[in-house]
Amino acid sequence: MGVFFELKSGGSLYYEVFGSQGDWIVFLNGIMMSVPSWKDFTGRVSNHFRLLLVDFQDQGRSSKHVESYRCEVHVPDLVELFDHLGIERAHMMGVSYGGQVALEFCREHQHRLRTLELVTVLPKVSNYLVAVGEGWEVAASLNDGAGFFSLTIPSIYSDTFYSQRLDWLKNRQKAFRQALTPEWFQAFIRLSQSANQFNCEDVLPTIRIPTLVLCAEKDILTPAKEMKEMAKLIPNATVLEIPDAGHAAFLEKPEAFLTAIIGFIKSRNEE
């Protein structure tokens, strides 16, 4: 059952918890995601951990911002939620935008983490990613779910996935058409713009907790080669690559994604 947590600064976070024992692990959403995006993962993860899923403000059922902001605005919200739930330390997995927030979290709150899992994310937004984001924002301004899908999704999934799962993608496009509202598009634009100046390169050498850098072979947004270079700057990093998958590797290859995340954490707990 989902819960709305009222923030002291105003606004609210929507979250769900799965599992009742083991270490806490929090999954941080990519920019187009929300709590239900993880519905196919909750069973297996909660067999090993207490899983916290949360929508950032401007995502899903959490409250909406009315002004522009930078992505680090989500960090104090997470700290407050951790305190509310009595989470002293957790494993933190962030996908894409969620990975950016995870890196910002490490800037001042690394002591609240057991491990860090960075999935398809880079430590700095490149000029290319800024340009891609601007294109996505133009697509969002059309207020057309199907059109937004056509203009944004091909850069997120691999060509292999398009050749093998076209029916699934077409169904996703129909879902976009039905579900995305003007409010969603406005919130998405704010989220996208919040990452325009993201830069955590200075944070990388300060990370002292076990860190998994999980990249994807065919990711054109956060290329595997660049993620491997990032990993060299993190003192205790392990690199794994999901083959034949794009930026949305966790959806294209969910078994490989889960095996990497759970296996990495379990191996570190046994050390």
Within the chain, strands assigned E span 3-6, 12-18, 24-28, 50-54, 90-95, 113-119, 211-216, 237-242
Fill in the amino acid letter for 109: H
- pLDDT band at 269; cut points 50, 70, 90: confident
- For 246-268, write each residue's pLDDT tens digit: 999 999 999 999 999 999 999 98
Place of tokens 């057991």: 114
- CATH number reported for the structural domain that contains residue 65 in this entry: 3.40.50.1820
Answer yes or no: is pLDDT of 20 > 90.
no
Question: Which DSSP string corresponds to 239-261?
Answer: EEEETT--TTHHHHSHHHHHHHH
pLDDT of residue 271: 60
Q: Is residue 7 part of a domain?
A: yes
Q: Is residue 183 part of a domain?
A: no
Q: How many domains does the chain have?
A: 1
Q: Is residue 238 part of a domain?
A: yes
Q: Quick check: helix, strand or coil at residue 28?
A: strand
Q: Is residue 177 part of a domain?
A: no
- pLDDT band at 270; cut points 50, 70, 90: low
Please state the rounded mean pLDDT for residues 92-102.
98
Structure tokens at 258: 């889960």
- For 218-234, write each residue's pLDDT tens digit: 999 999 999 999 999 99
The pTM (predicted TM-score) of the whole model is: 0.97
Q: Is residue 62 part of a domain?
A: yes
Q: Is residue 205 part of a domain?
A: yes
Q: Is residue 166 part of a domain?
A: no
Q: What is the mean pLDDT of the chain?
A: 96
Enclosing domain of residue 18: 3-125+198-269
Q: Is residue 206 part of a domain?
A: yes
